[in-house]
A and B are shown apart, each in its own frame.
Chain A
């Protein structure tokens, strides 16, 4: 690290106004970025790794990342799920090179060290030397001590989570009862059916994406589709609820009559396109499959945004790739019980979200723009005052930035900033 960078780091001081200001250096500082990964992704947090249904058979694996580190989600011969680092204990080659596969064991291509699906070292070619009497590996080399790095693994209703810290708290305690309740609303007792993947690489800091997906205020303004079709609108009823540990959930209550409603609230929505309609309205006409009229989203810090938008069920895996680069990996799913009509409905409504989504495309666009500007002046600050400067409590309106303040309140404590 250069002297200039170092001195800048030591001078990092959060603005006096607290969490209603975010200093722009949090989006660019490389040293801070490394500290975040150490603390959150390689520390005690639970990170999302995949869905159990992605490994339908024993002896399958699939690659993913925890923070920047490559990992494998595996299913052993007995059906148990494991998460291990995709780094050969020998010389650091990835053990699996394909995105996913069905294998006998995990064999590193470099020197063919073999590991079982739980990451235990099984075999080393020429362990006893060749040709004799060359010594081979030292006699006291202990195979049990040189397996793949194992992560603490937890399966919750078909979703797979991992933590580098084997002393991580129990998953249920980590996310808390409310998040469990809303995860279970869409997961519990369901056999999940994988629908597919879309991925995008957004040139922005991962926290900008975190802010964006916990910011219902922008959703009611930037996203024309929401306002115009009354599917997520400022005049609807909302529960916007920060959770301890950096998590949150947002619920909006779908009211079909809003589409036709005009008031002093809609007058403030410049993106509401009068007269704009669709030839095929099924994209914006969800079926109330959970029978509660709710559109729900939640964040499990630090890696996952879970979304039930109408009938689109999507997981957004947030992968920091660098201080100014974030991969957003979308996994779409439905249920094994879906009939053709429901499956088609999910695929059609999928047009709302993802890298080309009528709604989500705009998030990628705006965050790339914001990053390009804020990175040029780390001394500047973001204003986060909607709903009250010090208010980090729940709100019953979309017009609030309480979740962003609550996030930075949590973040500052964790990062000692």
Chain B
């Protein structure tokens, strides 16, 4: 792959990740689930599990149905303190540009509860596999591996 194609793919990925994060930060959960393929695997896992090659994930969604179930549960059933979250993505890199695209990026997620200042909830890395469907890039596999040894209180929203 040439420098130019990597660069344009990188730009496309940055746009995708920014839009993905905006959907979460603004609570547009149906838009968020729209970034995944039907057969997507979405996991949020501790680095402790990841480095040991373990498969348990704090959030584990196998298939778009489970991803949508997660969003419906947040909206319909889950009890939690109201909060404002904000995602920051940096270091977007293309590892492989083939039928499937492999990419990585850093994320930082801040959380402000209704009566307090924002705190860093989570810092980590997205390990992604993407696929182009009808010209549109979609996430086929996303492992959000967090560096936190512990999650502060609870993880309510997807990462």
Contact = CB atoms under 8 A, between A and B. Distances in A.
A197 B48 contact: yes
Nearest to B69: A278
Instruction: Name, among A201, A356, A362, A368, the residue most crowded by chain B CB atoms within 10 Å (CB to CB).
Output: A356
A369 B55 contact: no
A351 B77 CA distance: 14
Given A201-B153, A280-B69, A195 B54 contact: yes
B153 A197 contact: no
Interface string B81-117: 1000000000000000000000000000000000000
Contacts of B52: 100, 194, 196
**From DSSP, what is the main secondary structure of chain A's interface residues?**
mixed
Interface string B27-63: 0000000000000000011101100101111111111
A347 interface: yes
B159 to A, nearest CB: 9
Interface string A338-353: 0000011001101100
A279 B56 contact: no
B29 to A, nearest CB: 14
A351 to B, nearest CB: 6
Contacts of B46: 196-199
A198 B56 contact: yes
A200 B44 CA distance: 14
A276 to B, nearest CB: 5
A67 interface: no
Given A198-B58, A280-B63, A355 B77 contact: no
A361 interface: yes
Interface string A230-272: 0000000000000000000000000000000000000000010
Interface of A: 99-100, 194-203, 222, 224-225, 228, 271, 273, 276, 278-280, 283, 327, 332, 343-344, 347-348, 350-351, 354-356, 358, 361-362, 364-366, 368-369
Interface of B: 44-46, 48-49, 52, 54-63, 65-66, 68-70, 72-73, 76-81, 149-156
28 contacts: A99-B48, A194-B52, A195-B54, A196-B45, A196-B49, A196-B52, A197-B56, A198-B56, A199-B151, A200-B153, A201-B151, A224-B78, A225-B73, A271-B77, A273-B77, A276-B72, A278-B65, A278-B69, A343-B55, A354-B58, A355-B58, A356-B151, A356-B156, A361-B154, A361-B155, A362-B79, A368-B154, A369-B81
